[in-house]
Structure 1
Amino acid sequence: MDLNLLLVLHALLTERHITRAASRLNMSQPAVSHALGRLRALFNDRILIRCGQEMRPTSRAEEIAGDLEVILTDISHILERPNFDPSEAEGKITICATEGAITVFADALVEAKAIARSVVFELSSEQYDIERRLKSGDVDIYVDTQPMLTSSEFHSIELFRNDLICVMRNGNGESDRISRADYASRDHIMIAGGTNDRLTHFLREIGIMRNTTVITPGYFSAANIASKSDLLLTLPAALAAHVCEIFPLQQRRFAFDLPEVALTMSWHSRRDSNPLHRWARDIIVAGARTAPTVSAA
């Protein structure tokens, strides 16, 4: 397909008006109208339907719009000079990650922002329909403890593996390691979803039923509550070390075996060679390398 046709299509879908699209492209109105005719024949679709003073995209055009934005962005980066300089870069990177995952690479992100002042990082914890959102470009990078995405459309890497650590308020327990019997007999606070769902399933398989009395949406609120109560909180080592620096909490290793937690990063293959996206992924990898993998206790 002629690249110029893609540019006209993008302008038409953005402006929804032939005259405004022509002005945006510095083209004549008849030339844009002719290009729209070619696009309609190519896609076998009307693309835009006149409604009053404006034109509305068809359902097919709306499907095309998301992929078109990604394609034109990738073409733009291909045509850029090969030496990527983050201090001169512009754009937005959307990262979908839990509050805990963001904590792992937060320091590296802050350092990167000091250099790349014109790059916007949008952080979201909404993890619904993640494969579709990665494919459409609504999400650029996905970081979580969920299993890696297996479709060939995506690239995934493991950032690190963490031991699970039991966290409790200072003075709530004296032994260095928490036993299976003690862990099963105590009341717990749990973070909804993800790691804790898989941990609950594993504990049931080995005959441990946690008595969970509080469920929170994030690890920070859970740690705050644990520091003011006798509730036990189970966290990956990186987060356990972090909350123990902020709240009056102590870490305890387990006297029985628990599975490790793997933090993974995934992205769509279309963004694999994009210089800005590669740089953003390197930031997350750098942050993960500095995260604690085991407790100091």
Structure 2
Amino acid sequence: MDKFLVRGALKLQPEKRKHQPEEEEEAGCAKEENGTEEKRPRLPMALPDEPRVICATPWKEIRAEGLDCNYTVLFGKAKADWLFQELEKEVEYFEGEFTKLHVFGKWHNIPRKQVTYGDSGLTYTYSGVTFSPKPWIPVLEHLRDQIQLATSHTFNFVLINRYKDGHDHIGEHRDDERELVPRSPIASVSLGACRDFVFRHSTSRGKRPSRHIEPIKLPLQHGSLLMMNFPTNRYWYHSLPIRKKILAPRINLTFRKVMAHRIVT
């Protein structure tokens, strides 16, 4: 995957990015592969007062044909541990009909827990199910604000997926729903077990692909932020494959900008 990386200290702006060369090597998921989970320290209950975010590692650019992403470890271990603990305590996941997805004409149970939070009046349709977000809670507002400070992009909606272990997964898909503001990025925060995130070009899928473009695998570390910029979701599918050796949980939060006028009644 290294050949797709352009390493550098990168500060994202809505229309302009500045970067400087950096020689840091990317860490993988070695510690989590053995299935062990470190004991996390219990941090103060109150939200940390952090008016300004400094990324724990320099930004890395991930580039390929039609793919434009940026990756960093946004939160150091102590802060990432604290966020994970708060999310485990405060997030209430969907139940009932919202735990199923409509794929290829059939309804399937979601192999993970899922919920949406966001501004009032928004809706988001994914695989045949329309979600209305729950109101923001303090830990999610804090995360949203920290990401906005780090990237200069604003977000009004978040989809949260909780994977209890390496058996929980998500199949290949694109986040290209019509409710999203055109050309807006998606900010993906990972907390907990490090998991492989795989990009596959749309023309390289299936048993008889029209082209052979190498997939890109990115280990998403605890506390990391992946920015999926336009036009990535037009041309590339992504997935979180099964990894049976992973025994620890992972929480992923994808912050999005949803158009307020697309309300389903």
Do they fold alike, i.e. is TM over 0.5? no
More strand by share: 2
Which structure has the greater CA radius of gyration?
Answer: 1
Q: TM-score range by the shorter chain?
A: under 0.3
More helix by share: 1
TM-score (norm 2): 0.20
TM-score (norm 1): 0.18
